[in-house]
Amino acid sequence: MSRVIEVGVLGATGMVGQQFLAQLANHPWFRPTWLAASERSEGKRYGEAAAWRLAGAPPDGVLDRVVESATPGVGPRLVFSALDASVAGDLERAFAEAGHVVVSNARNHRLDAAVPLLVPEVNADHLSLLEGQRAARGWKGLIVTNPNCSTVVLTMALAPLRAFDLRTCLVTTLQAVSGAGYPGVPSYDILGNVIPFISGEEEKIEVETRKILGAAGGEGVAFHPVVVSASTTRVPVIDGHTESVSVALGTRPSADDIRQAFDAFRGLPQELGLPSAPPKPLLYLDAPNRPQPRFDVGRDGGMTVTVGRLRPCKVLDWKFFALGHNTVRGAAGAAVLNAELMQARGWLD
């Protein structure tokens, strides 16, 4: 691509906002020229408004940039949103009304029938919802969303199993503390502990999964019939959501059939050679004690979902573990891949 596209980041000072800046540093297509956050940060140097909380140095020049007010109509046309959900609904809508293309991480618009909820390897065709979005919502711009961080991991692992008539899924998550933003869960609550409750998370996984795996048509998305039951926990891990998954299938594949389906899984991002697309979006690890967040979360810059321990389930049919980087594949990296897909498909022209 010859021209570089200027982009903005809404919520640039937060946990996911920082991951956006890391993902966009040296991006071949996108250059972040506008960083916005709340009134608390507005007008301050980034380094004053936010402490850098990711491993490694912040991208060059970021700490001296001035944080802007999140005012619609001011920044670049393409804006990535890492806004807190308490404000994202109204603010993102206002940005879309003002003509921005909003590529969002927040939960607020994910289930809007006119808004694509994308995992580009799984449902790139759901971009077709944008055809009707302007007419249905009356916005000059657009909104596209990526799923909840646990849902991304689950849908990538389940997508190849649609071929075996996926019927039922039980999932228990072990979610990292970075998923709660900063300062997130108090250290006294999480160290040496497991918290069996994350507000709203189980409901999000159960419904978002069915939209993503569903079929887009003229009337919106026909949700996939799979029945999902989720239990979510917070564990003392910094980055990486691990998921224990059991599935019931309508056909009778062997373990080899499922392994082959995981291995063969590719999507449009790989076909198009998008800059953030991992070569193998699902990587099966044979070692009996993998995947593990400490060793596997950063594969291909955090964009690969690792799976392992495929074995028969005595209650359903098969069970396995899956792991993904929650602030990369589950948030900022997912949104950047969505924007790359939109650019490749002409939605940013």
Ligand X SMILES: NC(=O)c1ccc[n+]([C@@H]2O[C@H](COP(=O)([O-])OP(=O)(O)OC[C@H]3O[C@@H](n4cnc5c(N)ncnc54)[C@H](OP(=O)(O)O)[C@@H]3O)[C@@H](O)[C@H]2O)c1
**Catalytic sites, residue numbers:** 149, 241
Tokens for 323, please give them: 């792991």
The crossing angle, in degrees rounded to 10, of helices 15-24 and 333-344 is: 50
Q: Which of 38, 128, 233, 244 binds ligand X (CB under 6 A)?
A: 38
Q: Cβ distance 303 to 121 under 8 Å?
A: no
Minimum distance, C-beta of residue 28 to ligand X, in the bound complex (Å): 24
> What strands, in cross-sheet order, belong to the sheet with 5-10?
68-69, 30-37, 5-10, 78-81, 101-104, 142-145
Nearer to ligand X, 161 or 293 (CB): 293
Determine, following the binding rule CB under 6 A, whether residue 233 of this chain makes contact with ligand X.
no
Tokens for 33, please give them: 């020229």
Minimum distance, C-beta of residue 205 to ligand X, in the bound complex (Å): 12
Determine, following the binding rule CB under 6 A, whether residue 149 of this chain makes contact with ligand X.
yes
No. of H helices and E strands in the chain?
Answer: 12, 14
Determine, following the binding rule CB under 6 A, whether residue 21 of this chain makes contact with ligand X.
no
Tokens for 65, please give them: 């940039």
Q: Give the E-state strand segments of the chain in sequence order.
A: 5-10, 30-37, 68-69, 78-81, 101-104, 142-145, 166-175, 215-217, 220-222, 227-234, 241-249, 282-285, 305-312, 318-324
Q: Which of 1, 125, 140, 182 binds ligand X (CB under 6 A)?
A: 182
Residues 58-87 that bind ligand X (CB under 6 A): 70, 82-85, 87
Residues 235-274 that bind ligand X (CB under 6 A): none
Nearer to ligand X, 26 or 199 (CB): 199
Q: Which stretch binds ligand X (CB under 6 A): 37-45, 196-204, 230-238, 250-258?
A: 37-45
How many residues form the binding site for ligand X (CB under 6 A)? 30
Minimum distance, C-beta of residue 320 to ligand X, in the bound complex (Å): 22
Determine, following the binding rule CB under 6 A, whether residue 326 of this chain makes contact with ligand X.
yes
Strands 215-217, 78-81: pairing kind: unpaired
Sign of the CA dihedral with 263 first, then 248, 162, and 129 last: negative
Q: Look at phi and psi of residue 309 and say left if phi exceeds 0, alpha if psi is from -120 to 50, else beta.
A: left
Nearer to ligand X, 126 or 241 (CB): 241
Nearer to ligand X, 41 or 123 (CB): 41
With vertex at residue 30, the alpha carbon angle to CA 3 and CA 297, rounded to the nearest 5 degrees, is: 145
Q: Cβ distance 283 to 290 under 8 Å?
A: no
Determine, following the binding rule CB under 6 A, whether residue 41 of this chain makes contact with ligand X.
yes
Minimum distance, C-beta of residue 281 to ligand X, in the bound complex (Å): 18
Q: Which stretch binds ligand X (CB under 6 A): 118-126, 153-161, 178-186, 227-235?
A: 178-186
Determine, following the binding rule CB under 6 A, whether residue 331 of this chain makes contact with ligand X.
yes
Q: Which stretch binds ligand X (CB under 6 A): 34-42, 135-143, 276-284, 287-295?
A: 34-42
Sign of the CA dihedral with 102 first, then 104, 108, and 112 last: positive
Q: Which of 21, 24, 37, 274 binds ligand X (CB under 6 A)?
A: 37
Please tell me the distance from the alpha carbon of residue 56 to that of residue 22, in angstroms, as a whole number: 10
Please tell me the distance from the alpha carbon of residue 4 to that of residue 26, in angstroms, as a whole number: 11
Q: Which stretch binds ligand X (CB under 6 A): 13-21, 202-210, 277-285, 337-345?
A: 13-21
Determine, following the binding rule CB under 6 A, whether residue 222 of this chain makes contact with ligand X.
no
Q: Could you list the residues that contact ligand X (CB under 6 A)? A: 11-17, 37-38, 40-41, 70, 82-85, 87-88, 105-107, 149, 178-179, 181-182, 326-327, 330-331
